[in-house]
Copies of this chain bind each other. A is one copy, B any other.
Amino acid sequence: MPRLVDHEVRRRQITAAVRQVIVSGGLEAVTFQTVAAEAGISVRLVQYYFGTKKDFLLATHRSVMEDAGARFLQRWTALGPDASPRETIRAVLTELLPLDDQRREETFVLGAFGWAAIVDRGITAEETFAAPRALVAIVADQLRRLQRTAPSNPELDAQLIGMAIGGLAQGMLQGFSSPAAAVELVDHLLDRLLGADTPG
């Protein structure tokens, strides 16, 4: 079905352009005109795929989570079935931090959406909750696999990890934490919550 494939490619082209516009000028720079110009297509074509600005903003937000999700899956596959919960959590967390250009773009775009939700522009807060909820659910699942943390509370531990990673990602965007310091902090966080001697 080449037609469907074309649709998907075109939508990706547009959401990629939205990201670029956000990175260059912030969420407030995003309009049908700037996105069309960035994508090198007509405004009419953007409108054909996305009826409203809100539609392509939400699709862009989803595309960032899909990209991160696809990378998790690759990392998971590479780790193999015997990966410890700690190895798995570490892989997920480091995939979320702005440690290279692509992840930096993603963190920036998610941060722009988060701030837009706070100032009530372009996206509602509820729409930005999918990413942190997914992270907390994945981490909590892994923590439940650790018998030794049974006396603790995997759900609350997972929320702690989620909020720490959110704060760290923002701090890295601001330049408060270097990539090396950030990775050290992730390892320290896992040491403190899972125990320094946890395998993996």
Stretch at the interface among A42-50, A70-78, A110-118: A110-118
Cβ-defined contact, B159 with A185, below 8 A: yes
User: Which A residues, 26 to 63, have Cβ-Cβ distances below 8 Å to chain B?
Assistant: 26, 28
Cβ-based interface call for A79 (8 A): no
Cβ-defined contact, B188 with A153, below 8 A: yes
Cβ-defined contact, B175 with A125, below 8 A: yes
Among residues of B, the one whose C-beta sits closest to the C-beta of A152 is B192
Residues of B within 8 Å of A166, CB to CB, are: 166-167, 170-171
Q: Is chain A's binding surface mostly helix, strand, loop or mixed?
A: helix
Cβ-defined contact, B128 with A174, below 8 A: yes
How far is A188 from B153 in the complex, measured between Cα atoms in Å? 9
Known interface pairs A153-B188, A185-B156. Does A117 touch B163 (Cβ–Cβ under 8 Å)? Answer: no
Cβ-defined contact, A118 with B174, below 8 A: yes
Number of this chain's copies in the assembly equals 2
Residues of B within 8 Å of A117, CB to CB, are: 174
Among residues of B, the one whose C-beta sits closest to the C-beta of A117 is B174
Among residues of B, the one whose C-beta sits closest to the C-beta of A181 is B159
Residues of B within 8 Å of A153, CB to CB, are: 188
Among residues of B, the one whose C-beta sits closest to the C-beta of A169 is B167
User: Which A residues, 165 to 180, have Cβ-Cβ distances below 8 Å to chain B?
Assistant: 165-168, 170-171, 173-177
Known interface pairs A28-B28, A108-B118, A125-B176. Does A188 touch B160 (Cβ–Cβ under 8 Å)? Answer: yes
Among residues of B, the one whose C-beta sits closest to the C-beta of A168 is B163
Residues of B within 8 Å of A152, CB to CB, are: 192
Cβ-based interface call for A157 (8 A): yes
How far is A185 from B161 in the complex, measured between Cα atoms in Å? 11
Residues of B within 8 Å of A129, CB to CB, are: 174, 176
A–B Cβ pairs within 8 angstroms, 16 of them: A28-B28, A112-B119, A114-B170, A115-B115, A125-B175, A126-B175, A129-B174, A132-B176, A156-B184, A163-B167, A163-B177, A164-B164, A164-B167, A165-B167, A167-B167, A192-B193
